[in-house]
Structure 1
């Protein structure tokens, strides 16, 4: 799913209006019907709503939602601005339609008026939409602060009021903190970054049938990894295949006290489909690896830490889990990089070794995949003020070094050498545990060994990692789930993918 800017979304609306054809007020009605349907289906135990509407088209959406829900039997109070600013044409039409109904209250809101809602009242925010390009004016900011202080469930229409669609908000900006955001047609970038996404609550993307032609022909460097993209990438296992068909994955890592990381990565590579999996690790990890991963072949790379990084030319290598940064390990790894030219998966201590000298970045083979978390990224490329600037820097470095960067976060971002960004929306806070990154390294190494392209490997890999975590959390909870539980859920994810692939035949 492409992510469009606020300006592109406005153009998308206009393109739909002129080419379908459909009028602007009819398009607003579509949006209101979609939002009202979601609310009526998901809020059956809450029959009273207080809907706050601005003067623009977002307010028009809210007024139309109020009318539709009132006719569905909800108890509705509508609050509109006492500002002298005119309503937009579409909002004015919906205000008249609402006032033509008897039994619905339409009142002016004031920032200094105390609102007393019972616990069952849902607050609906339709004050400002994606067109807002400035901080909230004082009367609106005071109202939003008052609403934020209430414990009632809050639903924002399209975007929480005060939030920009495309960029980082001012650190002192007043923004409505929603429990749910019912957005139209596509994600907004700010929903996907930690500093701004915390205002959206759970995001529901509602389809309002905007022009598919516009979506297909309009360029953007940002996308969300959705089911349609995954189904286009995934290749079911062929009946007449053998272990050589699916490549040789080599997990290179482990050191005294950190062999568990290599175990997790090796198990992950095995469970995600590699034909042959090798563990290149120090002797101290031999019994642990052979006992916990008997399907993986062991190659000795040292005694207590890694010294020897020699691998066969047809291996696909994932390097870093539990590797450590012993001086001799560092020497051996950098020597390996100088003489190796195939794409690698680089994680954890492999990145920490590289980060010790900026010149080391030049040793990374082209098309390699690195998987830094924010602190590892900072050590590699420098500090940034926020996640938006971090992503911008990652785009620069991916182009400069001709590599793929998997920037781990709540919504992990895949950055390609062309500067394209794919946000992943699977996964949950249960992955905030040591070992989760090692699992991802194993998945990526396995998929690349199976001859998925580097871009496909990154996209499918982060999605698979997150989807398995979602299944694991349902069974064990986010608090109790372990990285091994995530690995155990791979099978269920592949079953889902294969069922969908069979339906598409």
Structure 2
């Protein structure tokens, strides 16, 4: 799914209208989709307080109020009675509800919410490009303090569609955001996405030709894309068909990390799987994962990484940064220029020794924000971090998987794919090690690198969602996630 800028969304609206759909009909369609969702998700005796602005977002709110009232809900609408400058379409829908005696229309200042009504924010849409006025800030602060469900129409008031907000900005805190056709970039970043609650994307039938042709560097990974990427296993195949994965890592006291990487590689379908680890981990790995072959390197810490032909390497989980291990990794990278996934201590060694030039072209690196900072420098916020990642991915001709609540895959062509599977239950040590194994396995099975990254991150998050459903976010473990990979593949096939 493409992510469009606010200006592109405006162009898309215009293109749709040019095809013969009037702007008021488009507003009616958007409002109908919102009202239908609300009816399906709230009890019939629920009341609603709808806060409407003067623009088309307010027009959506007026139309939603009318439709909810017609469905039997109690509705009150709140406006700024001192400002009579409404957009043309908003004015039409305001006049329609003025003709309905059962809908009360009051000034913002008259709101008291004694009936514990659900609050609907239809104050500003995606076109907001300035800081809120003092009066709106006070209103939003008041609404945020009331312990009732809160719904935003299109985008929470106070957020911009495409950019970060100031740290002290006042923003409506939605439990649900009913947005139209596209994700906004601000929904997918931690500084801004935390205000959106659950995102519901409603298809309002905007012009398909425009959407197909319009250019963007930003995408959301959806199931449609995953089903295009996924390759079912052919019946006439053998273990060599599905590649050779070599997971490299582990050190004294950190064998769990490389164990999880190896196990996740196998669960993802790796044909032949090897683990290079210190001898102290031999019994642990061979007893826990008999399907993988063990290659010893050093006693307690890896001191050599041998190069095997026609293999994909995943290096870093539990690796440690001992002197002999640093030497082994750097010597390996000086001689190796094939497919590789680099994670954790492999990235830290490269950063500390200023050896980014050793990362092979088409490599995949998987830093979390702090590791990214060590590699490429500090940024002011996650929006800037994504832009720096685009620059570095192109410069080094590598794929960067920037781990976050919505992990982003950044390609050498500067495309960004935000992932929307996964949950906070995965915020535990070991989850990243699982991802390394998944990615290594997919690449070894000859998925294209870009597709391996997109699919691997989605698969990791989807398995995490299934684990959270069964065990809870608090109690789920990375090993539970590994065991749910099979269910994701079953659903795909």
- Shorter-chain TM range is over 0.9
Q: Distance in 1 between matches of 2:45 and 2:381?
A: 38
Per-residue displacement from partner, 1:353-406 (whole Å, max 9, x unpaired)?
001133x10000000000000111111111111111111111111011100000
Per-residue displacement from partner, 1:26-58 (whole Å, max 9, x unpaired)?
000000000000000001265200000000000
Per-residue displacement from partner, 1:283-310 (whole Å, max 9, x unpaired)?
0000000001100000111111001101
Contact 1:28 1:60 in 2 (8 A): yes
**2:312 paired with 1:311:** no
Contact 2:187 2:196 in 1 (8 A): yes
**2:33 paired with 1:34:** yes
Q: Secondary structure at the match of 2:352?
A: coil
Contact 2:47 2:115 in 1 (8 A): no
User: Which of residues 387, 395, 401 in structure 2 aligns to 1:392?
Assistant: 387
Match of 2:8 in 1: 8
Q: Distance in 1 between matches of 2:149 and 2:361?
A: 49
Match of 1:404 in 2: 399
Match of 1:117 in 2: 114
User: Which of residues 188, 196, 201 in structure 2 aligns to 1:205?
Assistant: 201
Q: Distance in 1 between matches of 2:216 and 2:323?
A: 44
CA positional deviation for 1:419: 0.5
Q: Distance in 1 between matches of 2:102 and 2:277?
A: 74
Which stretch shifts more, 170-179 or 124-133?
Answer: 170-179
Which stretch shifts more, 56-65 or 162-171?
Answer: 162-171
User: Which of residues 363, 369, 378 in structure 1 aligns to 2:373?
Assistant: 378
Q: Distance in 1 between matches of 2:84 and 2:217?
A: 36
Match of 1:468 in 2: 463
**2:144 paired with 1:148:** yes
Q: How does 1:348-363 map to 2 (within 5 A)?
A: 348-358=344-354, 360-363=355-358
Q: Distance in 2 between matches of 1:434 and 1:173?
A: 32
CA positional deviation for 1:118: 3.1
Q: Distance in 2 between matches of 1:374 and 1:356?
A: 16
Q: Secondary structure at the match of 1:322?
A: coil
How many residues align? The count is 493
CA positional deviation for 1:85: 4.8
CA positional deviation for 1:114: 5.6
Contact 2:307 2:336 in 1 (8 A): no
Match of 2:96 in 1: 97
Q: Distance in 1 between matches of 2:307 and 2:245?
A: 11
Q: Distance in 1 between matches of 2:448 and 2:297?
A: 28
Unaligned runs of at least 5 residues, structure 2: none
Q: How does 1:71-220 map to 2 (within 5 A)?
A: 71-110=70-109, 113=110, 115-119=112-116, 121-220=117-216
User: Which of residues 484, 488, 500 in structure 1 aligns to 2:483?
Assistant: 488
Match of 1:429 in 2: 424
Q: Distance in 2 between matches of 1:142 and 1:446?
A: 53
Contact 1:256 1:304 in 2 (8 A): yes
Contact 1:157 1:181 in 2 (8 A): yes
Q: Secondary structure at the match of 2:121?
A: strand
Q: Distance in 1 between matches of 2:114 and 2:149?
A: 11
User: Which of residues 283, 299, 303 in structure 1 aligns to 2:295?
Assistant: 299
Q: Distance in 2 between matches of 1:46 and 1:415?
A: 47
Contact 1:254 1:324 in 2 (8 A): yes
**2:254 paired with 1:255:** no
Per-residue displacement from partner, 1:161-206 (whole Å, max 9, x unpaired)?
1110000012222111111100000100000000000110111000
Q: Distance in 1 between matches of 2:400 and 2:13?
A: 34
Match of 2:324 in 1: 328
Q: Secondary structure at the match of 2:413?
A: coil
Match of 1:501 in 2: none
User: CA-atom RMSD, angstroms?
Assistant: 0.9
CA positional deviation for 1:315: 1.2
Q: Secondary structure at the match of 2:338?
A: coil
Which stretch shifts more, 388-397 or 63-72?
Answer: 388-397
Q: Distance in 2 between matches of 1:493 and 1:116?
A: 44
Q: Distance in 2 between matches of 1:488 and 1:311?
A: 30
Task: Tell me the TM-score normalised to structure 1 length.
Answer: 0.97
Q: Distance in 2 between matches of 1:439 and 1:32?
A: 43
**2:284 paired with 1:288:** yes
Q: Secondary structure at the match of 2:224?
A: helix
Q: Distance in 1 between matches of 2:114 and 2:410?
A: 46
Contact 1:46 1:122 in 2 (8 A): no
Match of 2:63 in 1: 64
Q: Distance in 2 between matches of 1:341 and 1:130?
A: 45
Task: Tell me the TM-score normalised to structure 2 length.
Answer: 0.99
Q: Secondary structure at the match of 1:342?
A: coil
CA positional deviation for 1:102: 2.0
Unaligned runs of at least 5 residues, structure 1: 499-505
